[in-house]
Amino acid sequence: MIRVIAFRLLQFPLVLAVIYLTTFMLVWVVPGSPFGRAERKLDPIAEQAMKERFHADSWKSFLAYYPIQVITKGDFGRSMQYQEWSVTDIIKVSLPVSVTLGIFALTIGTIFGVMIGTLAAVNRGGLFDWLSLTIALIGISIPSFVVAALLLATFTGRFGLFPIGGCGGFREMVLPAVALSLAPLAYIARLTRISMLDVLGSDFVRTARAKGLSRFTVIWKHCLRNAFLPVLSYLGPAAAATFVGSFVVETVFSIPGLGQHFVNSVKNRDQTLILGTVMIYSVFLLTFNLLVDIAYSFVDPRIDITAKSSS
């Protein structure tokens, strides 16, 4: 087990390098310059000077400078857009906000998603099945910006239950976390329902009932642990995506998280910031996928990650 984890960890740098290079290639071939916008064209000479200052005058000088900085100092360089900030500082300031919010949202989504999905499966075809699935599906049938804005308008203006924006305290976190949790909640509810329906048909359910266990124990102890596996494998990528922040929620609730930088950096062709955010995302993704694989072997003893090919 430990050997496998070590092996997977050793692969990380290689995978990250490939993702770094791919991202760089994508960003580099796309037309447009990080310096100056359409309405405020920079003087060509000034732009050239700027590019040279940021080692962005050619792909050779870019690749000769930045990767070495990243490897030796963990420094992604200065943001080409916000020139007085270094990428590392931007991430340091905004990532904790996004991660806190993400943990909160994913916890809500997992708990309620699993609950709704399980109850729906147990009442298959019944009113609760229909109702819960509809509610869960509404969560992913209305654009997230509408849901977020409606939550904001309803619970801040009229009832004044929660503050309008900002971050820090628990109360500030509730609304954005709820908004952010809706999509994972709906997805987890459906996953749980489907795999639960499968598990409820297995023979061991009958054995457990024949022992004299109550329906409640059989469902929530025996079945849930089996039905949780697909949810677990969804949680890896979902955690990575949620923890790095969401543009919509952060914009609507004016939260200074990392999510906005994903969109803005790409829109502005801020090459250094793009690379920084993508690398953070990739590290999260790889880590959570590894964690999920480890968790898998705890939840289901039949799965032996030592026998699994790395991917």
Which positions from 101 through 120 interact with other proteins, judged by CB under 8 A?
none
Restricting to residues 33-92, name those near other proteins by CB under 8 A: none
Rounded-to-integer distance, Cα 71 and Cα 73, Å: 6
- Decide if residue 133 touches other proteins (CB under 8 A): yes
Rounded-to-integer distance, Cα 77 and Cα 270, Å: 11
- Decide if residue 15 touches other proteins (CB under 8 A): yes
Restricting to residues 166-195, name those near other proteins by CB under 8 A: 190, 194
Our separate counts of H helices and E strands in the chain read 13, 0
Restricting to residues 222-251, name those near other proteins by CB under 8 A: 222, 225-226, 237, 241, 244, 247-248
Ranges of H-type helices in 244-270: 247-252, 259-267
Q: Which residue has the tokens 């109550």?
A: 214
Measured in degrees and rounded to the nearest 5, phi and psi for residue 86 equal -90, 150
At closest approach, how far in Å is the CB of 143 from other proteins? 4
**Residue among 44, 159, 302, 307 that touches other proteins (CB under 8 A):** 302
Nearer to other proteins by Cβ, of 72 and 309: the residue is 309
Nearer to other proteins by Cβ, of 6 and 142: the residue is 142
- Decide if residue 215 touches other proteins (CB under 8 A): yes
Q: Which residue has the tokens 């004299």?
A: 212
How many binding residues for other proteins (CB under 8 A)? 74
By CB under 8 A, which span of 52-60, 73-81, 98-106, 281-289 interacts with other proteins?
281-289
Rounded-to-integer distance, Cα 218 and Cα 223, Å: 6
- Contact between 128 and 120 under an 8 Å Cβ cutoff? The reply is yes
Restricting to residues 194-213, name those near other proteins by CB under 8 A: 194, 197-198, 200-213
- Decide if residue 160 touches other proteins (CB under 8 A): no
- Decide if residue 124 touches other proteins (CB under 8 A): yes
Return the structure tokens found at 311.
């991917």
The set of residues, in sequence order, having a beta carbon less than 8 Å from that of 230 and lying 6+ positions away, is 191, 192, 194, 195
**Residue among 101, 178, 219, 239 that touches other proteins (CB under 8 A):** 219
- Decide if residue 19 touches other proteins (CB under 8 A): yes
Terminal CA-to-CA distance of the chain, rounded, Å? 16
